Amino acid sequence: MKEIALRAAREGGRILMQKFGTALRIEHKGAVDLVTEADREAEQAIVGVIRQTFPRHSILAEEADYGEGNAAYRWIIDPLDGTTNFAHAFPWFAVSIALEVDGAVVLGVVYNPANQEMYVAEKGRGAYLNDVQIRVSTLAGIEDSLLATGFPYDRKHSEVNNYDHFLNFQQAAQACRRAGVASLDLACTAAGRFDGYWEMKLKPWDVAAGKLLVEEAGGLVSDFDGRPCDIFGAEILASNGLIHEPMMDLLRHGRRPG
């Protein structure tokens, strides 16, 4: 299953790189939520690779409905995480693929084709970047931390927009970054590039693979109150574990999804 996931991620990434920097057909799913022909073509290619070997497995993907299938095995796919970056030819985007077995994510792949970086995690077997094992950072003070986050698509008309949390963390941490790709934010947390990450109002295909990466790299993933993170939930907090409590303390001072 890992080999199929890797093959699917590479095929999706190949299509994205063929389209990258070209004139694209761009549609709006919302005021700032884009979809391009690259999203759809990459998704079709990824699903095609998976279904060649596992035709009865269920598939949950961002752009299309693929029916029910075998509920015991479900692939969770984001063919292009970072569509806005991609549409502007900013080379920071990813293919994200996770496999869920009996409700638990057991495999996660996040592939950045522009940088040729392949992150892979298997439950109980660690996390890897281009076949080299990765671990979360060992930084223990939030004041020295580099954090990552993102803002929801409804930020222009909802007061629950993460702006207050962003300001609080900017004051508390060494710095915060907002690069616009949740799966890569989680992958970079797993690799120790970021010390922590928080976001809200995401979808399961944004976080399923990245969550496993952080956990298998020795980090913690929860909601803002420290409860187990539900990939279908509205909140995610990931860290190296050492700054998890201080991050939760700060998150108590801002607006949260109701």
Which architecture characterizes domain 142-251 according to CATH?
3-Layer(aba) Sandwich (3.40)
- Residues 27-77 pLDDT 10s: 666 555 567 888 899 999 999 999 999 999 999 998 888 877 667 999 999
> Could you say which residues of the chain have pLDDT below 70?
23, 26-34, 69-70
Residue 31's pLDDT is 55
Q: Which candidate, 29, 232, 233, 229, places its Cα nearest to that of 248?
A: 229
Residue 30's pLDDT is 56
d(CA 198, CA 248): 10
Find the distance separating the first CA and the last CA of the chain, reported in whole Å.
37
Q: Which candidate, 206, 199, 236, 235, places its Cα nearest to that of 220?
A: 236
DSSP assignment of 17-38: HHHTTS---EEESSSS-EEEHH
Angle at 198 between CA 220 and CA 213, to 5 degrees: 45
Please state the length of the chain: 258
Domain segments of the chain as ranges: 2-133, 142-251
Domains 2-133 and 142-251 share a fold: no
Residue 71's pLDDT is 76
Residue 64's pLDDT is 84
φ/ψ (deg, to 5) at 206: -75, -30
* CB environment 52-90: b (16+ within 10 A), e (fewer): eebeebbbbbbbeebeebeeebbbbbbbbbbbbbbbeee
Residue 36's pLDDT is 81
Strand pairing class (104-112; 94-101): antiparallel
Residue 75's pLDDT is 97
Residue 163 and residue 199 in contact, taking contact as beta carbons nearer than 8 Å:
no
**CATH code given to domain 2-133:** 3.30.540.10
CA diameter of the chain: 50
